[in-house]
């Protein structure tokens, strides 16, 4: 009697597990096939990987994402006739995931670097950036030199981390997300945070007691990334970007998120995919 | 297939980054051993407090039971984040407690030790309790009838027997503890997970993480076999003939 009841329970459990697995498989298949095609379909949605939040580039709740990257890519998408669907993912594996086909595009305040170029291809730059040193108001860390000896926080896998490791020469505290590093600064666990200027300025505006002490001109450019070999998609994105810059949409979005006019360089900034 | 091996099992890559990953693993070991010892001691204290007899000690027992329930009931990761985010912000604490830098180890190391000890102390308290309750009641009766107080009976008769019975489950919890130290990577401690993950995001190769996993196996596998041996030996004490658990 007991044996048959046990086997019945086990069978129900396995059935439930199996149906979950099938449902899960079904969903992910849909994702990759819908967007993996060679781009000739009009209106097929592009899945976009992004590390959210990273204000003011990407922020908000699922279904309601917003930010400079989000609005800009949506505008580019409109110009080339494609919908975009943003998906939250973690930054430190984002390029690997893109290369594996988890998304079509990465739009995540990603700096174009040689190292990353080995795995993915970048569009022309859509943002010209600098890093900033974010500190508590009244801190005496006001230059790159003063950074040595201080405890510095960065986001893992970012060019901010690279800068501290190579130019300052110390090991920073690497946090999974940008806002984590800012929290650590606020409660005193780190003395300074090296992070993209807009993110730093956003933190200064959003909370009390912080200031950006120095801009570090690192001459970084952000690009949208696609998997290597997706040259058609890359061309489409570049065309869409050019159009959006040319017709003034870019300037409108830029002014909304950064409260100033975009630099002239963005109109001519190009990038050769290797 | 070759790509799979290159991505996860690139031996040359592992050799190149071995020192780095090992340095991170050393932090993991320090964290595990320190938290483990503290948790073993704290768990024993909790278990003893829980067993204090008499109406007078009811509040002590109640508080201890509440502590054990709460800290077995909340995830260690949440506790780590709460401690690391909250303690430095407590203005009334002196700096040396808010941002401990004791013995050259950074504050996130000590926050990790604190969180792990608090949580695993609760788990181990329950293990000790099962050991204490499995000691036959006659032992306590005999000890008391010989004139020992409750405390003396516990210390000299019950606890030695109880602890010997639960060495294997305690070691089991210790193995779980060593793996849970990886959670401390979220507060930016440079233990093996963070170091290996960093290497992965810089180089796009996952072999450093696999190397980290192998280092863990080098520690957990011998412990697992030791636990099997202990279980077999413990069972051998009370059964005649062949032991019920095969020790390899």
Nearest chain A Cα to B95, which residue? A188
CATH (domain of A133): 3.40.190.10
pTM greater than 0.80: no
Class of B2-238 in CATH: mainly alpha
A189 to chain B, any CB pair closer than 8 A? The answer is yes
Cβ separation A189–B186 shorter than 8 A: no
B85 to chain A, any CB pair closer than 8 A? The answer is yes
Domain ranges of chain B: 2-238
Mean pLDDT confidence for B31-39 = 97
Mean pLDDT confidence for A232-240 = 93
A114 to chain B, any CB pair closer than 8 A? The answer is no
Collapsing DSSP to helix, strand or coil, A180 comes out as helix
On whether residue A39 sits in a domain, the answer given is: no
How many domains does one find in chain A?
A: 2
Cβ separation B108–A173 shorter than 8 A: yes
Asked if residue A228 and residue A158 are part of one domain, the reply reads no
pLDDT of A36 over the 50 cut: no
On whether residue A32 sits in a domain, the answer given is: no
Which helix (H) or strand (E) segment holds residue A194: the answer is strand A192-196
A174 to chain B, any CB pair closer than 8 A? The answer is yes
How far does the CA of residue B155 sit from the closest CA of chain A (Å)? 43
Nearest chain B Cα to A119, which residue? B204
On whether residue A13 sits in a domain, the answer given is: no
Asked if residue A137 and residue A216 are part of one domain, the reply reads yes
- Report the alpha-carbon angle B214-B218-B224, nearest 5: 120
B107 to chain A, any CB pair closer than 8 A? The answer is yes
B108 to chain A, any CB pair closer than 8 A? The answer is yes
* Structural domain harbouring A195: 129-220
Q: Do B39 and B120 meet the contact criterion of CB atoms below 8 Å apart?
A: yes
Largest interatomic CA distance in chain A: 81
What mean pLDDT is reported for chain B?
91
How far does the CA of residue B202 sit from the closest CA of chain A (Å)? 7
> Of A182, A202, A220, which closes a domain?
A220
> Of A185, A202, A220, which closes a domain?
A220
On whether residue A83 sits in a domain, the answer given is: yes
Cβ separation B201–A171 shorter than 8 A: no
Asked if residue A212 and residue A133 are part of one domain, the reply reads yes
Instruction: Tell me what pLDDT residue B17 has.
Output: 93
Q: What are phi and psi of A91, to 5 degrees?
A: -65, -35
Mean pLDDT confidence for A85-114 = 92
Asked if residue A251 and residue A135 are part of one domain, the reply reads no
The token pair that represents A184 in the structure block: 């650590």
Taking residue A273's Cβ as centre, other Cβ atoms within 10 Å add up to: 17
Angstrom distance (rounded) from CA A54 to CA A60: 9
Which residues touch B153 (CB under 8 Å, ≥6 apart)? B140, B143, B144
- Contact list, A207 vs chain B (CB under 8 Å): none
Q: Do A231 and A239 meet the contact criterion of CB atoms below 8 Å apart?
A: no
Instruction: Tell me what pLDDT residue A218 has.
Output: 78
Pick the residue with more confidence: A34 or B142?
Answer: B142
Dihedral angle over CA of A251, A252, A258, A264, nearest 10: 10
On whether residue A6 sits in a domain, the answer given is: no
């Amino acid at each position: 009697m007991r044996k048959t009841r046990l086997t019945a329970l086990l069978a129900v459990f396995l059935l439930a597990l199996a149906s979950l697995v099938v449902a899960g498989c079904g969903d992910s298949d849909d994702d990759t096939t819908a967007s993996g095609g060679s781009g000739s379909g009009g209106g097929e949605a592009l899945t976009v990987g992004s590390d959210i939040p990273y204000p003011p580039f990407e922020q908000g709740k699922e279904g309601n994402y917003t930010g400079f990257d989000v609005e800009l890519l949506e505008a580019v998408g409109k110009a080339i006739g494609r919908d975009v669907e943003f998906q939250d993912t973690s930054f430190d594996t984002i390029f690997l995931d893109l290369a594996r086909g988890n998304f079509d595009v990465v739009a995540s305040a990603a700096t174009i670097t040689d190292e990353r170029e080995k795995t993915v291809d970048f569009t022309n730059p859509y943002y010209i950036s600098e890093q900033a040193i974010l500190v508590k108001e009244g801190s005496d860390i006001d230059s790159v030199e003063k950074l040595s000896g201080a405890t510095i926080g960065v986001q893992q896998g970012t060019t901010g981390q690279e800068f501290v490791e190579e130019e300052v020469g110390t090991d920073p505290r690497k946090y999974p997300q940008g806002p984590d590093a800012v929290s650590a600064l606020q409660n005193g666990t780190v003395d300074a945070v090296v992070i993209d200027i807009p993110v730093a300025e956003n933190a200064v505006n959003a909370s009390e007691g912080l200031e950006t002490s120095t801009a570090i001109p690192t001459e970084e450019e952000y690009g949208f990334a696609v998997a290597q070999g997706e040259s058609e998609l890359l061309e489409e994105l570049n065309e869409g970007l050019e159009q959006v810059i040319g017709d003034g949409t870019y300037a409108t979005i830029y002014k909304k998120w950064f409260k100033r006019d975009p630099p002239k360089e963005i109109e001519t900034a190009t990038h050769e995919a290797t | 297939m070759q790509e799979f091996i290159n991505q996860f099992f690139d031996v040359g890559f592992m050799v190149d980054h071995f020192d780095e990953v090992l340095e991170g693993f050393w932090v993991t070991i320090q964290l595990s051993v320190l938290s483990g010892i503290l948790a073993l001691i704290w768990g024993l204290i909790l278990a003893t407090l829980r067993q204090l007899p008499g109406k007078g000690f009811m509040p002590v027992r109640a508080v201890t039971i509440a502590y054990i329930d709460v800290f077995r009931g909340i995830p260690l990761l949440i506790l780590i984040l709460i401690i690391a985010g909250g303690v430095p912000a407590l203005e009334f604490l002196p700096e040396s407690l808010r941002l401990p830098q004791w013995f050259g180890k950074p504050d996130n190391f000590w926050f990790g030790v604190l969180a792990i000890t608090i949580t695993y102390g609760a788990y181990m308290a329950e293990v000790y309790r099962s050991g204490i309750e499995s000691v036959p009641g006659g032992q306590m009766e005999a000890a008391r009838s010989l004139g020992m107080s409750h405390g003396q009976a516990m210390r000299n008769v019950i606890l030695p027997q109880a602890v010997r019975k639960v060495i294997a489950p305690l070691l089991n919890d210790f193995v779980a503890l060593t793996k849970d130290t990886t959670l401390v990577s979220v507060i930016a401690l440079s233990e093996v997970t963070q170091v290996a993950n960093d290497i992965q995001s810089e180089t796009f190769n996952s072999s450093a993480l696999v190397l980290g996993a192998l280092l863990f196996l080098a520690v957990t596998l011998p412990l697992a076999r030791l636990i099997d041996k202990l279980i077999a030996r413990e069972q051998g004490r009370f059964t005649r003939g062949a032991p019920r658990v095969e020790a390899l």
